[in-house]
Amino acid sequence: MLTEDKLLGSIEAGGTKFVCAVAGDDFNIIDQETFKTTNPAETMGKTIAFFQKFNVASIGIGSFGPIGIKENRPDYGFITKTPKVGWSDFDFVGSLKAAINVPVFFTTDVNSSAYGEYQFGGVPKEETLVYFTIGTGVGAGVIQGGSFVGGRSHPEMGHILLRKHPDDINFPGVCRFHGDCLEGLASGPSLAARTGIKGEDIADDDPVWEIIAYYLAQAAWSATLDFRPDKIIFGGSVSSRPGLLAKTRQQFKLMNNDYLTVPALDDYIVHPAIENNGSATYGDFALAMFALRNAEKSDERA
């Protein structure tokens, strides 16, 4: 258990920014710092300096990926093969623990967000949920029976293949590995590549949103068939566009064609319950608590 003078830590390690935070056992944020993701040395230096100001009991980390999350594998704790310069094969957990040797839970940013929504989003504990982030990158985390889905590693649903929208046939997509996979077609950078306008400056009534909705509906349809979840949550900057999820639900309904019984679509394809992109940070705190309890159990057995 968390003793009175100790705090839980969260690292939301994104490809563009890091958010570090600490909380007590009521999970209320006591302090928080956001900085740009630059090279590993500088970024980890700032991260370590933040946590050294506090008496931290354990840290939950939700990182951009791909990463190694299986403790029995040699790449555990590493950022593995990323196009982000300097970060490939970087020992994230090792670098952190060399300075701050506390129990950590290391997972993907989307797994952290899924866990935050699962623990604090008013979701019944027996429910299965899928959390997609649609932003600079695209990914998903899945929780069933309180555990993350994923065998050898974490899901990589950002790279599923899609059927192209008829008005998008000639767009090659922006994924450097697969061109027009989900991430290649629905991420923030795909909007700018198609329109020449930055995603946030595109009008709400631009026809590109119908195209994006068609792709998000395919992501939701795929998740429905794979996991039969109770809820599919779309977070990330692209998903927050007003009206986009309503369009996504319409397309999803056409795809299902009354084949599967799913919850009412307004309760099924939803925005995060936790506001201000807070799902990952709260998920990290809960995972930090989980790591702390596990470490205490190991100590008791030893």
Q: Does 249 bind a second copy (CB under 8 A)?
A: no
What pairing do the DSSP bridges indicate for beta strands 78-79 and 90-91? antiparallel
Q: Does 153 bind a second copy (CB under 8 A)?
A: yes
Rounded Cα–Cα distance for residues 28 and 20 (Å):
14
Name which position in 51, 209, 227, 282 contacts a second copy (CB under 8 A).
227
Is 261 exposed, middle or buried, given 0-12, 13-18 or 19+ CB atoms closer than 10 A? Answer: exposed
Question: d(Cα 207, Cα 194) in Å, to the nearest integer?
Answer: 11
Q: CB of residue 77 vs a second copy: minimum separation in angstroms?
A: 16
Calpha distance 2→106 (Å, rounded): 19
Q: Which of 95, 147, 93 is nearest to 118 (CA)?
A: 147
225 touches a second copy by CB under 8 A: yes
Q: What residue spans of the chain are helical by DSSP H?
A: 40-52, 92-99, 109-120, 182-186, 188-195, 208-227, 244-256, 265-268, 279-301
Q: Which of 166, 257, 276, 300 binds a second copy (CB under 8 A)?
A: 257
Of the pair 147, 276, the CB lying nearest a second copy is at: 147
Q: Is 134 in the site for a second copy (CB under 8 A)?
A: no
Q: Does 226 bind a second copy (CB under 8 A)?
A: yes
Question: Residue 144, interface with a second copy (CB under 8 A)?
Answer: yes
User: For residue 82, which of 61, 67, 62 has the smallest C-alpha distance?
Assistant: 67
Q: Which is nearer to a second copy, 94 or 263 (CB)?
A: 263
CB nearer to a second copy: give 4 or 258. Answer: 258
DSSP letter for 238, please: T
Tell me if 240 contacts a second copy by CB under 8 A: no
Give, as ranges, the residues between 154 and 173 that touch a second copy (CB under 8 A): 154-164
Site pattern 25..64 for a second copy (x: CB under 8 A):
----------------------------------------
Contact residue for a second copy among 74, 122, 124, 145 (CB under 8 A):
145
Taking the C-alpha atoms of residue 139 and residue 157, their distance in angstroms, rounded to an integer, is 5
128 is a contact residue toward a second copy (CB under 8 A): yes
Pick one of 56, 192, 193, 255: the residue that binds a second copy (CB under 8 A): 255
What DSSP assignment string belongs to 176-232? TTTBSBHHHHHSHHHHHHHHSS-GGGS-TT-THHHHHHHHHHHHHHHHHHHH--SEE
Q: How far is the CB of 266 from a second copy (least distance, A)?
A: 17
**Choice between 128 and 281, CB closer to a second copy:** 128
Nearer to a second copy, 50 or 148 (CB): 148
- Residue 255 vs 273, nearer CB to a second copy: 255
Contact (CB, 8 A) for 186 and 222: no
The reply on whether position 84 binds a second copy by CB under 8 A is: no
Nearest-angstrom CA–CA distance, 274 and 141: 16
Q: Which residues bind a second copy (CB under 8 A)?
A: 66, 81, 127-128, 142, 144-145, 147, 149-164, 177-178, 218, 221-222, 224-230, 255, 257-260, 262
